[in-house]
Amino acid sequence: MALLDIEGLSVRFQTSSGLFAAVEGVNINVDRGEVWSIVGESGSGKSVSMLATMGLLPWTAQVTADKMAFDGQDLQQLSSRQRRRIVGGEMSMIFQEPMSSLNPCFTVGTQIDEMIKQHLGGSRKERHERALDLLAQVGIPDPARRIKAYPHQLSGGMSQRVMIAMAISCNPRLLIADEPTTALDVTIQAQILELLLRLQEDTGMALILITHDMGVVAETAKHVVVQYAGRQVEKQDVKSLFANPRHPYTEALLSALPERAGDQDRLPTIPGVVPGQHDRPTGCLFNPRCRYATEHCREVEPVAAPDDPARTLCHYPLEDGISPSPAAAGVARDNPQSSPHREVRP
């Protein structure tokens, strides 16, 4: 039995112009101790799907799923009181903006203590000891002094370490990290990722890492979910994903990696932006940006083939890097010059 088992997760928001499906058809099944990654551009619904799992979306959100279970418990059937016992305790989350994610009115110690008190209990002294241990564990120097600090006295990296200390304070079995390094500078990013992976290994908890950095995915995750415009377009283990991306979007993301650009002068890009609420195309949501798109793609919404383990949401999934799409005839993968989307100077 998977630790986190989600099938067909959808999140809809009631807006002035009707119901907007921010997330649709997301499946994820994380086993104990596994590291998963969810990738996609901004606006792909990565955060929303995980916030829905945690039950942190505002009341305007309508969350539905065919299945949404944590360790066998159906999250949709639990009372809010029962769910709060899981959220924070067994399943915890850290966020994109560490500086604004800590309450400015309370000290670091108070905020960690509050969480331990909620889920583990113990005497004031025991909780204090635990908070000190946790701060040391996440690499905060001089924990005895820092525990009395207010969030505005900490740097972004320190704040994220405090958030991590808080998130792991109750020995969760699953940690969801929502772009934990986006707001930090590059040197700190690596440290925070390293810390998360070390903690994951030490404690054996499962980790879901939301990111838009394929490089991070390659270094960290075992399994990858690719999302585009709220839809899950592909799900594979990391090795096969990098070797054989099935969805053209995944392929495009990978070719945008500097390491893969080879000696080209310019990095390949994916033209256009993720469609928002008002400019959703008909047919496949990726078709305006896909270089293999055909008339069929523009008219008919794709469904994943039942026998496809990657559940690729594409009419013409790539096979060994080659698209069976009729539109692919003029697009040779190894010759970027011929791609209409790639701008390469001689």
- Residue 96 vs 191, nearer CB to another protein: 96
Mark 293-332 with x for binding to another protein (rule: CB under 8 A) and - for no binding.
----------------------------------------
Q: Verify binding: residue 92, another protein, rule CB under 8 A.
A: yes
Phi and psi, residue 253, nearest 5°: -60, -45
**Residues 134, 165: Cα–Cα separation, whole Å:** 5
Kindly tell me which residue out of 64, 103, 171, 337 binds another protein, with binding defined by CB under 8 A. 103
- Residue 93 vs 221, nearer CB to another protein: 93
Kindly tell me which residue out of 29, 118, 264, 339 binds another protein, with binding defined by CB under 8 A. 118
Least distance in angstroms from the C-beta of 81 to another protein: 8
Largest Cα span, the chain: 70
**Residues 209, 184: Cα–Cα separation, whole Å:** 16
- Residue 175 vs 270, nearer CB to another protein: 175
- Residue 163 vs 238, nearer CB to another protein: 163
Q: Is the dihedral of CA 134, 135, 137, 138 positive or negative?
A: positive
**Residues 95, 181: Cα–Cα separation, whole Å:** 9
Task: Extract the tokens encoding 331.
Answer: 């697009």
Cβ–Cβ < 8 Å for 128, 116: no
How many residues does the structure list for the chain? Answer: 346
Q: Which class for 98: exposed (0-12), middle (13-18), buried (19 or more C-beta within 10 A)?
A: buried
Q: Verify binding: residue 71, another protein, rule CB under 8 A.
A: no
The DSSP code for 139 is T
Q: Verify binding: residue 150, another protein, rule CB under 8 A.
A: yes
Q: Verify binding: residue 87, another protein, rule CB under 8 A.
A: yes
Task: Extract the tokens encoding 124.
Answer: 């004031």
- Closest by Cα among 336, 316, 344, 303 to 8: 303
Least distance in angstroms from the C-beta of 160 to another protein: 12
Instruction: Give residue for tokens 């896909």.
Output: 290
Kindly tell me which residue out of 85, 212, 222, 333 binds another protein, with binding defined by CB under 8 A. 85
**Residues 244, 88: Cα–Cα separation, whole Å:** 37
Only segment of 114-122, 125-133, 197-205, 336-344 that touches another protein (CB under 8 A): 114-122
Only segment of 27-35, 102-110, 190-198, 262-270 that touches another protein (CB under 8 A): 102-110
Q: Verify binding: residue 143, another protein, rule CB under 8 A.
A: no
CA 196 to chain centre: 14
Q: Verify binding: residue 49, another protein, rule CB under 8 A.
A: no
Phi and psi, residue 184, nearest 5°: -105, 160
Q: Verify binding: residue 163, another protein, rule CB under 8 A.
A: yes
Binding residues for another protein, rule CB under 8 A, total 31
Kindly tell me which residue out of 18, 104, 258, 306 binds another protein, with binding defined by CB under 8 A. 104
Residues at the site binding another protein, with contacts judged by CB under 8 A: 54-56, 80, 84-89, 92-93, 95, 97, 100-107, 114-115, 118-119, 150, 152-153, 163, 166
